[in-house]
Structures are given as structure tokens and as C-alpha cells.
Amino acid sequence: MLESEIWVEKYRPRTLDEVVGQDNIVQRLKGYVAQKNIPHLLFSGPPGTGKTASAIALTRDLFGEIWRDNFIEMNASDERGIDVVRHKIKEFARTAPIGGAPFKIIFLDEADALTPDAQAALRRTMEMYSRICRFILSCNYVSRIIEPIQSRCAVFKFRPISEEAMKAKLVEIAEKENLKITEDGLNALIYVAGGDFRKAINALQGAAAFGEKIDAEAIFQITATARPEELRDVLDLALNGNFLEARATLEKLLVEYGMSGEDVVNQLFREIISSNFDEKLKVVLIDKLGEVDFRLTEGSNERIQLDAYLAYLSTLLSRKKKEEE
């Protein structure tokens, strides 16, 4: 393989045995390989958890050398209308398998982006050509797939990759690439990835460009992510009534890491959940943070919204004391 290759592709699983962190799903898929037959499949779960990798690895294990001739991958977010189902998918589905394979496989990534009409057309196509074609659908939100399609598929729900599985694989990749990764650097990768293995590998490759030794500082800089303790400081300062100091600290983080308002909201949410705050206080903080997140999604000014959130926190405890009195 080329040295310049993207590591996500370089270390993509080639067989089901190489899929990381989805042991239960892998065992079930291996059962289909042993039978040399599969039903229609529906993979759902967060990004970077191995859905696409599992679909390709399953096809490789089933068909061997001729897998490329009997497999097509399409992204439904690019072509999401009914015409793509009626023409492109249908044309591939109706042709006979090549090289003695019992059936062909259509892998439809981001299937939850298909319009309801396109999904209804797909349901009929799945029925008509089931003898010579199998569908593997991948989505982030299974609730956006219409019920008739769900009932025609064996559903596999992928979980975020566990810390143990991710650590073991990242250490293996670092050794193959002759990198020295510190323990705090490894923990930073786990924190930044949040269960998304693709994000972890990309962050590792990005940090490797700065040198062979990788620590937490390199990871946080390359991913434009603030350290957890820095966000905690912002929360503590605001809750203690130090609004201007909390605002200045947050301003520094926004400039230093180039974070967006949504990045800050997501990290604040993680820190509130993992903090030692009283449960009632957590409920209030998250409720207000949800309002900020909604306003940012609707296009509000992120600096004003973040400052407003810190202002709210700065007056929260004093308001509670007055209510108690």
C-alpha cells in the first residue's frame, strides 16, 4: 500500500474477523457466511462504528475473489429520489450474478436519507428481485426507515466502539506506523472520538504529521477540541458568579482551538453529564443548554448565545438562594 494512503482506508477491515468492537454482530454475520446465504440486512448506529466495513467484509467473506463483480455501493444522501430506485438500483438488481455467485448485493449507505416515496419503491424492488439480489441498508436512525422495509430486513444495531477495543486497535496502528503515543494521548483520542473509530484514526494520522511522539496536546490541537478540564473551569467560574472571567476563558478557547458554537455546546453537555454536580443542578444546566443548541441550529449568533448561557449560570445560584430565603 502507498505510504500516502489515508489510514482509515489502509486499516479498513478486509474480513469479518478484523471488524473492531462489534463481536456479537460479527458472530451473527459469520453464521450467514457459513450458510452461504443472507437475508436483506439493515445496519443502524452512530457514524464510525463499522457499518460500511461490516457490509464489505461480509461480501468479501461470502464471494471471495469475485466480490467486486457482485457488489455495488451507493450513497442514498447523494441520490435520494424515487428515480434512482426505479432506474439505477432496479437495473443492477435485475441482472444475474457473475462467476457462479448465488446472488448479488446492493449496499445502500445512509438509507435514512431516502424520501418516503423512494423507500416505498425500494420495498417493492426488494421483493421482486430477492432471488438474485440481496440488499444491505445502512442508516444512523432506524426510525427514519419505513416499517415495511424494517420488517423485510434482519436488523443489526451497532454500538459506539468501546474504549478497550478502540485502545487496543489504536496501539496496534501506532506500532505499525512506528509512532510513540503517550497514555494521555491515547486517552485524548478516546475522548475526542466519542465511540467513532473513524474519527479516532483520522485524528491519529493528523497528529502523526507533527512528529512520531503523540501526546494529548497534539490530539486536542489537531481536532480543535478543548481539554475537558478547560470546559469544567468555564462552568465552575460561571456558576460561582464570575461571568467576565468565565467569558474570557471561553473566548480564549474559541480562539485557541477554533471551535464553533456547536462544538462548545456538545463538549459542555459531556462535561455536565460527567461532572459531580448535584442531579437537580445537572437537569437545570442541560435544560438551558438544550435551548441554546436549538437556537444555534436555527441560525442564532453563537457568541451571543454562549455569553447568554454563561450569564444565566452566573446568576443561577444567587437566584436559588433568594428562592430558598
- Domain extent at residue 245: 228-318
Residue 1 belongs to a domain: no
| pLDDT > 70? residue 77 | no
Residue with grid cell 461470502, as numbered in its chain:
62
Q: What is the mean pLDDT of the chain?
A: 88
In a shared domain, residues 110 and 151: yes
Average pLDDT over every residue of 230-257: 91
323 within some domain: no
Q: Is the same domain home to 17 and 138?
A: yes
Residue 84: pLDDT over 50: yes
Verify that 247 and 262 share a domain, yes or no. Answer: yes
Q: Name the residue among 212, 222, 220, 302 with its Cα closest to residue 265.
A: 302
40 and 128 share one domain: yes
Statement to judge: residues 132 and 172 lie in one domain: no
Last residue of a domain, one of 126, 157, 188: 157
**Are the beta carbons of 21 and 31 closer than 8 angstroms?**
no
123 and 242 together in one domain: no
Please indicate, yes or no, whether residues 96 and 149 belong to a single structural domain of this protein: yes
Contacts of 253 (CB under 8 A, 6+ apart): 226, 230, 231, 234, 259, 264
Q: Which amino acid is at 235?
A: L
Percent of the chain past pLDDT 90, that is, above it, reads 59
Asked whether the whole model's pTM tops 0.75, one would answer yes
CA dist., res. 165 & res. 184, Å (int): 17
Q: Which residue has the higher pLDDT, 313 or 125?
A: 313
Query: Which secondary structure element, helix H or strand E, spans residue 116, and what is its range?
Result: helix 116-128
Residues 83 and 26 reside in one and the same domain = yes
Residues 26, 153, single domain; the answer is: yes
Do residues 68 and 123 both lie within one domain?
A: yes
Same domain for 167 and 37: no
Q: Is residue 306 part of a domain?
A: yes
Structure-block grid coordinates of residue 232? 469544567
pLDDT tens for each residue of 286-299: 999 999 999 999 99
Indicate the number of domains in the chain.
Answer: 3
Tens of pLDDT, residues 21-64: 899 999 999 999 999 999 999 999 999 999 999 999 999 999 99
**Where a domain ends, among 141, 157, 173?**
157
Beta-carbon-side half-sphere exposure of residue 223 (alpha carbons within 13 Å): 29
Rounded Cα distance, 194 and 191, in Å: 6
Residues 244 and 108 in one domain: no
Q: What angle do CA 262, 263, 265 make, to 5 degrees?
A: 60
Cα(191)–Cα(27) distance, rounded to whole angstroms? 28
Residue at a domain's end among 100, 130, 157: 157
**Domain assignment present for 240:** yes
